[in-house]
Amino acid sequence: MLTVGDRFPEFNLKAVQPGSQGLDLKTAFVGISSASDAGQWKIVFFWPKDFTFVCPTEIVAFGKLARDFADRDAVVYGVSTDSEFVHLNWRLSHDDLRDLPIPMLADIKKELAQALGVLDRTEGVALRATFIVDPDGIIRFASVNDLSVGRNPAEVLRVLDALQSDELCPCNWNKGEDYLRPAA
C-alpha cells in the first residue's frame, strides 16, 4: 500500500458531479483526473460498493463536511470500483445521497485502487481507505478500515488541520488549540 511520503498515483476517472448537476443525465458525468483541482489539498476516500449499508453513512458524513474541507482549500473525492452509471442510480434512489456535494468517482478498471494497494484481494473491491494528499501530490495521511467498519470524517478534517498547521500537534489536538513547543 502506498503511504505517507509517497506520490499519489496519476488517474483519470469518470465521476458523477456533485449537487443537482449530478442528478441530470445531461450534466451528470464529468472527468476528474490527478490534474483536477491543481494546487489544492485532496481528500480521497474509497468505499467498497454502492447500494450497501455502511458506505452511505460515510459518504453522507464526508458530504456534510464538504464545506469545512473547502474552507481549508481541500477538495473531497469519493471513489469506488462501481461505474458512474451505478453511482448515478444510487444517488437517484437514495434520499441521503441525492444532494451530495462531492463527486463520486468510478474506478471501474480498479487501476487507482490497485496502484494505491487498497484493492481487497478476496472481494475485488476497494477497502475503506482514506488519503490526504498535499498540493504537491504527496500523500500526507493514509488510513484503511476493515470492510465492515466505517471511518470518522471529522477525524480526517482534524488531521488535515494539523497537517496544514506545520506545527507539532499533540494527541487529540484540534484547530485553535496550543501546539507543542519543545524546550530550547
Q: Catalytic positions, please?
A: 55
The terminus-to-terminus CA distance of the chain in angstroms comes to 38
Distance CA 21, CA 28 (A): 6
How long a stretch of residues is the chain? 184
Question: Shortest CA distance to 182 belongs to which of 160, 171, 167, 172?
Answer: 167
